[in-house]
Structure 1
């Protein structure tokens, strides 16, 4: 299955020049723990970084810094790992494991943001797959009873 089929399409995003306080307010408004940082050089929203609620707490709040004077661009993770919307789910899982990331922005062929996939999304997908797999035995037993009547 393609990762584009299971990613969250409505991705909260921002530009690098907003303050961390504004970023935290966006996270609160959208009920998310991260924002994909984007630039729009040619009409496409190109992911250039990501900032998480944990980044804000560990880098800014814990150090007693002022979240109204620090921008997202100051602390965002700029060595961003993305995934193509056409990549296979299992390849994506391997990529996340290898890179040690819990969230991946999903991009189209032009590099434009189309969604985000998280570990939680993948756990939910795998749980559904396991549920379907567990139904094989039940279905087999049902078919045997029907055939052997």
Structure 2
């Protein structure tokens, strides 16, 4: 399985000069824990950073900074860990674990943002597969009862 089929194509984005307040409002509105900071070139969005809800709490609120004067460009993590849309799921998981990140912006071969893959997505995928396996066991047991009794 590749990230092309697994990533979420609805990505919250912001620009470097957007305020942290605006990013927080976006996160609240869409129930998300991050925004990807992008630069637009020729109408295409290229990821250059990420700001998470945790970044806002630790670096802005806990330091009592004025949330409407700090920009996402001031706060964003510039060492962005990216994944290619053709990357295999297991490679993406390995990368997340090695780099200690819970979210991977997904880009195409040109580096254009096409989606995001998060640990939450992975947990949902695993839960879905486990539910299918549990259903298989239940079905097998039901068939066995039908034919053996």
* Cα distance in structure 2, aligned partners of 1:41 and 1:10: 19
* Cα distance in structure 2, aligned partners of 1:25 and 1:88: 33
Matched with 1:2 is 2
Matched with 2:26 is 26
Matched with 2:125 is 125
Give unpaired runs (5+ residues) of structure 2: none
Deviation sequence 1:40-98 (CA, Å, 0-9, x none) = 12332100000011111110110111111111010100100011111111111111011
* Cα distance in structure 2, aligned partners of 1:137 and 1:27: 40
Q: What is the aligned residue count?
A: 148
* Cα distance in structure 1, aligned partners of 2:138 and 2:61: 53
Aligned-pair RMSD on alpha carbons? 2.0
Q: Secondary structure at the match of 2:65?
A: coil
* Cα distance in structure 2, aligned partners of 1:53 and 1:137: 40
1:1-149 to structure 2, matched below 5 A, reads 1-137=1-137, 142=143
Give unpaired runs (5+ residues) of structure 1: none
* Most deviating of 130-139 and 116-125: 130-139
Deviation sequence 1:89-114 (CA, Å, 0-9, x none) = 11111110111000111111111111
TM-score, normalising length: structure 2? 0.89
TM-score, normalising length: structure 1? 0.89
Deviation at 1:137, TM superposition (A): 4.6
* Cα distance in structure 1, aligned partners of 2:17 and 2:70: 9
* Most deviating of 37-46 and 129-138: 129-138
